Amino acid sequence: MVDGVLISEEIITKLIQSKNTTCAVIARELQRFNKMAQIDYEMAIICARKAIDFMLRSSCEIANIKAGTKPLEQIIEELHKSGTLPSIIGKHCKIIKDFGNIAAHGLQSNDLEIEGAEMTEVEVEICSFALTSVASWYISQIIPKTLDIFPFEIVQGKNITEHQIGEAIEIDCAIYKTEYRGIPDICLQWFRRNPDIYTFIIDKHTNKVVGYINSMPLEESYYEKIESGEVIDVNIPTEVIRTYDFPDFYKLYLCSVAVHPDYQGTIAFKMLYEAYFDKLLYLARNDIYITEMLGDVVSEDGEKLAKFIGMKKLKDTTHESSIYKVMLLPPSIRVTTSKAKNLMVLYQKKYEDFKDLLDLSSNV
Residue type, 123: E
Spans in the chain with pLDDT lower than 50:
1, 109-116, 149, 360, 364
Please state the pTM of the whole predicted model.
Answer: 0.62
Instruction: Note whether 7 and 14 are within 8 A (CB).
Output: no
Contact 124, 37 (CB under 8 A): yes
How many residues are there in the chain? 364
Give the three-state DSSP class for 64.
Answer: coil
**Are 341 and 279 in contact, with CB atoms under 8 Å apart?**
no
CA separation (Å) from 318 to 196, 324, 325?
29, 14, 17
- The answer to whether the CB of 8 falls within 8 A of the CB of 132 is yes
Taking the C-alpha atoms of residue 77 and residue 62, their distance in angstroms, rounded to an integer, is 15
| Amino acid identity for residue 11 in this structure | I
For residue 187, what pLDDT is reported?
97
pLDDT on residue 319: 92
Written as one letter, the residue type at 205 is H
Q: Provide the pairing of β-strand 288-297 with 248-259.
A: parallel
> Are the C-beta atoms of residues 302 and 316 closer than 8 Å to each other?
no
The three-state secondary structure class of 231 is coil
Domains of the chain: 9-145 (1.20.120.330), 152-362 (3.40.630.30)
Query: Would you give the DSSP letter of residue 183?
Result: P
Summarised one tens digit per residue, pLDDT across range 243-288 is: 999 999 999 999 999 999 888 877 788 889 999 999 999 999 999 9
Going by the DSSP 8-state scheme, the letter that residue 84 receives in this structure is S
SS3 151: coil
Positive/negative CA dihedral, 59, 63, 64, 67: negative
**Distance spanning both ends of the chain, measured CA to CA:** 74
Q: CA 287 to CA 310: how far, in whole Å?
A: 23
Contact 241, 194 (CB under 8 A): yes
How are strands ordered across the β-sheet holding 208-218?
152-156, 198-203, 208-218, 248-259, 288-297, 322-327, 312-316
Q: By CB neighbour count within 10 A (0-12 exposed, 13-18 middle, 19+ buried), where does 257 fall?
A: buried
